Structure 1
Amino acid sequence: MDRIDRLLSRQLQSMNRHLAKEKKVLEQLLEEEKPEVILRDGMPHFFNKKELELIAGLLPEEKHRILRLPIYIELSSSKFGRGTARVCGIPEVMVISKLLDKKAEGDEMFIYRPEIRIIRKKLPTTTQYMLTATLD
C-alpha cells in the first residue's frame, strides 16, 4: 500500500467514525430498555424503539436473532456510480426490500437516491451511511 492509499484509508476511517464499534442483533435490542450501540468514536448511538418494532414486523421471528443493527447503506461513487448505494446481508436485504416494496433476493441489494431518502426517513436511527472507495 503506497502513501496515497494509506492517506485515503485513514481519511475513510475518519469519515466512518460514526459507525458502530459492534453491531447488536435485533432480538437483543428489542429487550433493552434503552437500546444502544457504542460508536467507533466512543459515543453511544440510541435506537428508536418504534423503528425496532417496525423492523421486527417486517422479518420472520427467527431472523430477529440474525439481523445486526444498524443496517449500513454503503456509498461509493467509485464502485457503484453516483446516486447508487448497496445494502448487504440476507436479513438486511429482506428489511429494505419489504420497506420499499421492491423484490430482492440474496445477500446484496442496490438502491438509488430516491429509495435512500425513503429508507432514511423511515429508519433514521437503525440505518447508517458507510463510505467506501476502491484503492486501485
Structure 2
Amino acid sequence: MLEKVIRSPLILIVSLFLMTIMLWSVYYGAFSNVFESVLLFVLIIALSTFLFLILFHNKRNPERKISWKSWTPYELKEEDEGQQWVTYRATRKVYIFFYFAIPAGLMVVAVFRHIEFMPLVVLFVLGTTQYGIYWHESRKYLNDREEV
C-alpha cells in the first residue's frame, strides 16, 4: 500500500500544484508574505514526508527499494516485455498529446496574454494531463493483463 502511494501520479500532481502556487505567489505577488512562508513550510514538510516514506519503505522492503538519488520515474520500470509494451503505448499517447497541446498552449498564452499567470496555468494543465494520460493508459493495459 505504501509503495502504491509513493509511486502514485497523484503525489506528482499535488507537488506540481503546490510548486505552481508557490511560483505564482513569488512572481506575481498574489499572496502575502505570511501565506508564502506557510506555503514554503508546507512544501518542505511534504518533501520531507515523501523522503521519509521512501526510506521507511526501503527499510521494510529491501528487495523492492525505491531509489531517491537517481530518480528514474517508476513508470519507466520495465521488468518484462509486457511492461515494455505498456510503457511504449503510454509514452506514445503522451507524445501525441504534447504534439498538439504545446502549440495549443502557446496559443492560449498568446490569446490570454493580459492574464499574467496564464503561462503557469498552461504548464500546470500540461503536466497534470501528462501524468493523467500516462497513468490511465498504463492502468488500462495492466488491469486487462491482471484479469486474464
Shorter chain as normaliser: what TM range?
A: under 0.3
By percentage of residues, which structure has more helix? 2
With CA pairs under 8 Å and 6+ residues apart, which has the higher RCO, 1 or 2? 2
Question: So what's the TM-score if we normalise by structure 2?
Answer: 0.25
By percentage of residues, which structure has more strand? 1
Question: So what's the TM-score if we normalise by structure 1?
Answer: 0.27
Larger radius of gyration: 2
